[in-house]
Structure 1
Amino acid sequence: MYPAPPPQAYQHKGVPVSAPPENFYDMYPAPPQARLSLWSTGLCHCMDDPGNCIITAICPCITFGQIADIVDKGSCPCLLSGTAYALSCAVGLGCLYSCFYRSKMRSQFDLNEGPFPDCLVHFCCEPCALCQEHRELKNRGFDMGIGWEANMERQRRGVMGNPVMGAPAFPGGMMR
């Protein structure tokens, strides 16, 4: 965490001593914490993905299920997560349940929390928070419609989400 004290003899006010001064570690600032990355889109950029915005407005449990499937790495299927979210919304605890997944996702991808805590974001702007999380996963290369397992299969085969089109390949190289 801190640099090791120098191996040579220490001097305190010009007099050699056998141990570092008590304030040796105070002379060095604490190492910077791991830099957290920013979200790829803002909380209110719902119109960057209008299809998901409409689905989230009509049935947020679909969007939540897709997010939870990826964040849980396939351990809890989309349908089960979406149903649990719908039931938690029915008893008024939907924002608490989805807040947990936002925090888990931020931890997995080292994302900045932002100016407001996750629970406050979900309590005040639940649909926008879900859309932002969905966009973030999509922008990180996940195909949100196929789930964790299919995304991992694509990755194993070398097929990445959001492919960038390059120049066409010619067999045997270019010929003149």
Structure 2
Amino acid sequence: MEQVKCESNPSDQPPQYSLPHTTTTMGGTYGSSPYSPPAQYSHTTIITAPVSQQMDRSLWSSGLCACMTECSSCLLTAFCTVCFTANLATRMGESCLYGYCCAPHFASTARPYFRGKENIVGSLAGDCCIGFWCGCCNICQISRELDRRGYPKGCMC
């Protein structure tokens, strides 16, 4: 087998670093000097990442208990909650069966989903509390917000 020796320009090769001086004792190996690259290596790599821009956050267009501004959604929620949640699900792009068969689950998950999608100020803890204790007012507020933001009406009112 023949060995071939390649000659190259030293500037084309990355610099070779030597390991720091180490001392071996019974307890193990300890470094006696910090690692530092040779002085001839001066290439610097700077990694930058895009800075996220602060997005404009909006507020709900109506209060949680502002049901009297639109009585139809308040009455539908009070007397036929599953029908109203099915309608709300279709307005939000979900299956009406999700709103009809899983109304309590839909009512608790629709708020954080919609709030995140539309960049509305709030918190997940607040969304959970409102979904649990104020379910009817919650879905009415979401319906009013869908109306204000121009979402299609759905199959009811």
- Please, what TM-score do these two structures have when normalized by structure 2? 0.59
Q: Distance in 1 between matches of 2:119 and 2:89?
A: 17
Quick one: which amino acid aligns to residue 47 of structure 1?
M
In structure 2, the partner of 1:56 is 77
Q: Distance in 1 between matches of 2:124 and 2:70?
A: 23
- How far off its partner does 1:97 sit? 3.6
Alignment size in residue pairs: 112
Q: Which moved more, 1:105-114 or 1:121-130?
A: 105-114
1:35-72: CA deviation from partner (whole Å, max 9, x where unpaired): 3111111101011110110000111112211222222x
Larger Rg: 2
- Please, what TM-score do these two structures have when normalized by structure 1? 0.53
- Aligned residues of 2:61 and 2:145 also touching (Cα < 8 A): yes
Residue 45 to residue 114, structure 1, CA distance change in 2 (3 Å): farther
Query: How do 1:3-42 and structure 2 match up within 5 A?
Result: 33-42=54-63
Overall identity of the aligned pairs, in % = 32
Query: How do 1:1-176 and structure 2 match up within 5 A?
Result: 33-71=54-92, 73=93, 75-76=94-95, 78=96, 80-86=97-103, 94=104, 96-113=105-122, 117-146=126-155
- Aligned residues of 1:63 and 1:134 also touching (Cα < 8 A): no
Residue 122 to residue 116, structure 1, CA distance change in 2 (3 Å): same
Residue 50 to residue 120, structure 1, CA distance change in 2 (3 Å): same
- How far off its partner does 1:116 sit? 5.5
Moved over 3 A (4+): 30-33
- How far off its partner does 1:110 sit? 0.9
- How far off its partner does 1:145 sit? 3.4
**Greater share of helix:** 1
1:119-151: CA deviation from partner (whole Å, max 9, x where unpaired): 11011101000100011001112242348xxxx
- How far off its partner does 1:115 sit? 9.6
Structure 1 segments unaligned to the other structure (5+ residues):
1-18, 20-29, 87-93, 148-176
Structure 2 segments unaligned to the other structure (5+ residues):
1-43, 45-50
